Amino acid sequence: MKWPRALVWLGHEFLEMLPAVVFFAVGFNLILTTTNLILKDYALQIGNMLLATTAALVVGKAVLVANATPFLKRYDTAPLAWSILYKAAVYCIFVFFARLIETGVEDWIRGKPFSEAVANFSWHRFSAIQIWLFVLFLIYVMFSELNQFLGEGGLYRLLFDQRSAELHVGRRERAQTLMQLSRLTAAHAQEELADGASPTHAELMQLLRRLSKG
C-alpha cells in the first residue's frame, strides 16, 4: 500500500523532530515541577504541564527549521566544544523568534491592543525561560553530537545494549580507541591507510581489532 506523499513527508518530519520534542517536554516539565515545589505549590496543575508540553512542540519545530539551514554545520570541523556551543546558540535564536511570534499570535487572537501587549509583556520571565532553554540545548546538542560521533544509534547501544563482556575492551577503553581511530584517520591520507605495508595501516588494523567483538 502506497501512502500519499504528503503523509510520508509529515511522518518523516514528525520522526525527525520527535527526539527534541520528547527531550524538551521532559525538561520543561521538570523545571515546572521543581519550581512549583520550591514555591510550595505541590498541587501540580495539569494545564501548566500541557503548556510545557506544547512549548516543547514549538521548540521541536524550531529545531527542525534550524536543521534545514546551511549555516548550522559551519563549525562541524571545529573542536566539538565549539560546535556544541554554536549549535546551541543557533537553536536558541530560532526558538527566541518562534516564542515571540507565538506570543504575538496569542495576543492577537485574544484581541489585545499592541501597546497593551507590549506594556504587559514580562521580559524577566521570558529571559529566565530563554536561559533554561540554552542550558537544555547544550545538553541536547552534546548528546546529539556524541551519537553522531559513535554512529547513528551508537550512543543507545553504548548505554543500553552492549555489555563490556562482549568486547575485547571495556567502555572507557573503547571510547579511547575511537578517539585514537579518529585522530589516525584525520592525520593520514586514504592511500597511506590502505597501504598494507605501512605502519599506519598496521596501527589502523590494530585499533579495529580492538573494537571488534571477542
Instruction: Look at residue 194 in the predicted model and tell me its pLDDT.
Output: 84
Pick from 59, 1, 3: nearest CA to 28? 59
Mean pLDDT of 180-191: 83
Q: Which residues pair with 213 in a beta bridge?
A: 167
Final residue belonging to a domain, choices 122, 138, 159: 159
Same domain, 38 and 101: yes
Q: Tell me: pLDDT of 214 over 50.
A: no
Number of domains the chain is built from = 2
Same domain, 87 and 179: no
Between the CA of residue 91 and those of 9, 59, 60, 96, 158, what are the distances in Å?
Answer: 23, 9, 10, 8, 27
Share of the chain above pLDDT 70, in %: 79
Same domain, 144 and 190: no
Mean pLDDT of 2-25: 77
Least confident of 20-29, 34-43, 112-121, 150-159: 34-43
Mean pLDDT of 175-190: 81
Q: Tell me: pLDDT of 10 over 80.
A: no
Same domain, 22 and 36: yes
SS3 state of residue 54:
helix
Q: Are 29 and 76 in contact (CB under 8 A)?
A: no
Mean pLDDT of 13-26: 81
**CA 202 centroid distance within chain:** 36
Instruction: Look at residue 4 in the predicted model and tell me its pLDDT.
Output: 72
Mean pLDDT of 32-56: 66
Cell of 139: 545538553
Give me the domain span that covers residue 170.
163-211
Mean pLDDT in the chain? 76
Same domain, 71 and 149: yes
Same domain, 76 and 175: no
Same domain, 206 and 113: no
Final residue belonging to a domain, choices 159, 175, 199: 159
Same domain, 154 and 170: no
Q: What gap in Å lies between CA 148 and CA 130, rounded to an integer? A: 26
* Comparison of pLDDT for 11 and 82, the residue scoring more: 82
Instruction: Look at residue 204 in the predicted model and tell me its pLDDT.
Output: 85
Same domain, 187 and 91: no
Same domain, 151 and 66: yes
Same domain, 88 and 155: yes
Same domain, 26 and 70: yes
Final residue belonging to a domain, choices 159, 175, 203: 159
